[in-house]
Amino acid sequence: MRILFANTAPIVKYGIGPALAELGHEVRYVFLDQEPSLEPYIDEFKPDIVFNDGGTGRMPKLFPLLEQRGIPHVYWAIEDPASFEDLSLPYAKKSDVVFTPCVESLADYRQHGITAHLLMFACNPNYHRDGAPDPRFNQDIIFAGNNYSYHPARQRGVATVLQPLIEQGYDVRVFGNEWWLDPNQAYTIPVQNYGGYMANEDLPAACATARIILGMHSIDTSRTMMSMRTFEVLGCGGFYLTQWTPAIEELFINHYHLVWSKSPEETLDLVKFYLQHPELRQKIARQGQAEVYRKHTYQQRVRETLPYLQKLTPRAFYQPQVQVAFPTPAVAAAPPPVVVVQQEALPVSASMDKTSPVPVVVVQPPPVKPGLPSVRIAAAHGKTTSLAQVYSSLFSPLPSRGTIRFSRKPVRIKLY
């Protein structure tokens, strides 16, 4: 099958495109935003499908040309749900197949008589893999992304994981567009914290060098939609400290695959703790890499799309048995339960007083959520009362599933 992509963004040319090519399909890319017409590429390549991920200026270049040529249009609504009404819905109405990374948007499409299918973001282990350290990224903490302050969730992420670290004088470097220095934005950073533009190709090196990679999201209400950077950073072996979202908690285990924060105070406690424990950072990073290689690759994602794509083309369709050798992560064990810290005032919380070098921990299994991948492992019964046992839990090959939270009040220790 010949598939023509109407974009050359990294998510296409390093993600879903190569994954389809590995299955034996012929793939071509064109950055339609900078081309006057798609017609020369259709005449030369003769695609069976045109695959598009949006773009406000592409509509008149795609339609009615594709309809006149009888070429199916596949739309991946990667801006859902934020741009559902003004971008996704107009494209979806003209598309033969619609995919979305946001499970909640499926119902929105149904209300308009459109059947959409879930296609979440992922990583490509042949691209998102361990890199070589690079002195350009030799900081304690970095964030790579643009200053999308028009998203309320992104503003909350800035206030939770980025602003407190800059205000406390941590070694933070932000890479992205110059909106980070624009006084018209909701939040700007000091010029000394700005690192300029970072090419996507530099992400493996950045993850291999910086001690902590920050994560922020434009959507914080979905069970599946999150920043695509989550999967990419984990695939590159980075230690990922992110703003909490339901999707993050749905798909990953806190303090086992990554670390999340719900408040500026928690962010400061987490950074202080993990900068002092490089062995824990490395362990969590490897476990996160193993998890995305096992469950969240574009090679896996595209196989889920093939039944829908197959119906669109009269060309003889087959799915060759291509063996793809992924890099072997350092940790490849199935995700067991994780250590949890609990505070009496909250159902799941944590504690670190000012004199304690490590958090006080209790173990508790998290609630099971239906419908999406989750690990369901019960915690062992017993009691723990010493920091030695806490360390033993953190470094155990079978940590207990759950969440670690930090606060400034000591709490009693229990094991459930």
CA atoms lying within 13 Å on the CB side of residue 105: 27
pLDDT value at 382 more than 90: no
pLDDT at 313: 81
Banded model confidence at residue 396, pLDDT cuts 50, 70, 90: very low
pLDDT value at 405 more than 70: no
pLDDT at 408: 39
pLDDT value at 349 more than 90: no
For the segment 51-89, what is each residue's pLDDT rounded down to a tens digit? 999 888 999 999 999 999 999 999 999 999 999 999 999
- Quick one: CATH architecture of 2-120+297-310? 3-Layer(aba) Sandwich (3.40)
Q: What are phi and psi of 212, to 5 degrees?
A: -135, 135
**Token digits for 18?**
């190569």
Chosen CATH of 123-295 out of 3.30.1360.120, 3.40.50.2000, 3.40.250.10, 3.40.50.300: 3.40.50.2000
253 Rama sector, left if φ>0, alpha if ψ -120 to 50, beta otherwise: beta
pLDDT at 55: 87
DSSP 84: I
pLDDT value at 277 more than 60: yes
Q: List all residues 6 or more positions away from 74 whose beta carbon is below 8 Å from its beta carbon.
A: 49, 50, 51, 52, 95, 96, 97, 98, 99, 309, 312
pLDDT at 410: 38
Residue 368 CB neighbours (<10 A): 8
pLDDT at 137: 98
Query: Region 249-263: what's the mean pLDDT?
Result: 98
Across-strand partners of 2? 26
pLDDT at 383: 34
Comparing 35-44, 292-301, 326-335, the range with the smallest average pLDDT is 326-335
Report CA dihedral (130, 131, 136, 142) to the nearest 10 degrees.
-20
pLDDT at 328: 55
If you count them, how many residues does the chain have?
416
Residue 215 and residue 233 in contact, taking contact as beta carbons nearer than 8 Å: yes
Query: Region 355-361: what's the mean pLDDT?
Result: 38
pLDDT value at 264 more than 60: yes
Q: List all residues 6 or more positions away from 171 whose beta carbon is below 8 Å from its beta carbon.
A: 139, 140, 141
pLDDT value at 366 more than 60: no
Burial of 225 (0-12, 13-18, 19+ CB in 10 A): buried
pLDDT at 27: 97
Rounded to whole angstroms, the Cα distance separating 295 from 414 reads: 33
pLDDT at 230: 98
190 Rama sector, left if φ>0, alpha if ψ -120 to 50, beta otherwise: beta
Query: Region 121-130: what's the mean pLDDT?
Result: 98
Banded model confidence at residue 334, pLDDT cuts 50, 70, 90: very low
For the segment 195-229, what is each residue's pLDDT rounded down to a tens digit? 999 999 999 999 999 999 999 999 999 999 999 99
Rounded to whole angstroms, the Cα distance separating 212 from 321 reads: 38
Q: Where is pLDDT greater, at 378 or 121?
A: 121
Comparing 24-28, 135-139, 149-153, 412-416, the range with the smallest average pLDDT is 412-416
Q: Where is pLDDT greater, at 383 or 267?
A: 267
Query: Which 3 state secondary structure label does DSSP give 155?
Result: helix
pLDDT at 94: 96
Query: Which 3 state secondary structure label does DSSP give 348?
Result: coil
Query: Region 270-281: what's the mean pLDDT?
Result: 98
Query: Which 3 state secondary structure label does DSSP give 404?
Result: coil
Start-end ranges of CATH 3.40.50.2000 in the chain? 2-120+297-310, 123-295
Rounded to whole angstroms, the Cα distance separating 22 from 411 reads: 53
Banded model confidence at residue 315, pLDDT cuts 50, 70, 90: low
pLDDT at 49: 97
pLDDT value at 401 more than 50: no
